[in-house]
Amino acid sequence: MGRSPCCEKAHTNKGAWTKEEDDRLIAYIRTHGEGCWRSLPKAAGLLRCGKSCRLRWINYLRPDLKRGNFTEEEDELIIKLHSLLGNKWSLIAGRLPGRTDNEIKNYWNTHIRRKLLNRGIDPATHRPVNDSPNNHPTTTTATATITANIHHSNSSLDHLATTTISFANATPSTHHLIKDEPEHNPDEHDHRKIKNTSPEIQERCPDLNLELRISPPHHHNSSSSSSSSSYIHPQVTQHVDNYDHRHQQQLITTICFACNLGVENGKECSCTTSVKGTSSSSTGYDFLGLKTGVLDYRSLEMK
């Protein structure tokens, strides 16, 4: 069964946006806020597909966008993030304030790829171009070897639980969430491919701090958070509650990260509330935008 078209294509404009269309879209969103993209074109008097309006707003018209050339720091950050996340442009964009996924994707394809190739680095694998894949059996199956440090802090003052996950500076004493699986375990699935040491990544990205802080949203007004639901955030440390308002709603009820990593009842589990045993395990945990039952590291694979 096919999906219904997102709009009546016969009566929509395509191609470059005019100044007038931009103005109409900006005016409408200023008045009514983002959302309801399907109905927005009609309400705003635009002969455009809702998706087209959304794209135009997110990639071009949003007031918090930073236009202009990428800095050297941004270049290096993109490279490092891509080495970890692959083509997860939206996640990469989330760590570059004022930049959009589309912008970063284009910039990668036009500038950084060439830059890496000039350095003798394969932009897809982040390895030297003459480095045989056979020498790196994890390259093609693309296991991201990531060590996660998890720290919980529960403030008695605000009753908000915060989980910090650091992908940097992991030490052998770090808590290992999922242990190494035997190489030829027939039951081994991709999502179990996380390894408990990360010399590879640390070697590649010795100074990249991908620390994530997961905490319940500090906005209790869903409408206000919705209007600020942009995943652009001015800090490398990402508050996941800003990732998107729907994810935000999930995080409210999924405090214990350890449970969602499959170590329920383990010493990492900090569940002391009714959260445990609620929908968190069934709905999964949205971590970095990656849907997890057990944290699914397939999405972290290098392509």
How many other C-beta atoms lie within 10 A of the C-beta of residue 203? 8
Bridge-based pairing of strands 127-128 and 238-239 is unpaired
Query: Smallest distance from the beta carbon of 234 to DNA, in angstroms?
Result: 17
Bridge-based pairing of strands 290-292 and 285-287 is antiparallel
Comparing CB distances to DNA, the nearer of 215 and 242 is 242
Residue 246 in the binding site for DNA (CB under 7 A): yes
What are 211's two structure tokens? 């620390």
Cβ-proximal residues to 293 (8 Å cutoff; 6+ apart), any chain: 260, 262, 281, 284
Q: Which stretch binds DNA (CB under 7 A): 75-83, 85-93, 175-183, 184-192?
A: 85-93
Residue recorded with tokens 């995943």: 231
Query: Smallest distance from the beta carbon of 163 to DNA, in angstroms?
Result: 19
Task: List the one residue from 35, 97, 98, 262 that touches DNA (CB under 7 A).
Answer: 35
Query: Smallest distance from the beta carbon of 104 to DNA, in angstroms?
Result: 9
Instruction: Report the C-alpha gap between 171 and 159 in whole angstroms.
Output: 30
Q: Which residues in 254-273 are b (16+ Cβ under 10 Å) and which e?
A: bbbbbbbbbbbeeebbbbee
Residue 98 in the binding site for DNA (CB under 7 A): no
Comparing CB distances to DNA, the nearer of 170 and 259 is 259
**Which residues are at the interface with DNA (CB under 7 A)?**
1, 3-4, 6, 9, 13-17, 35-39, 48-52, 54-56, 59-60, 87-91, 101-103, 105-107, 109-111, 114, 229, 231, 244, 246, 249-250, 283-284, 286, 289, 291, 303
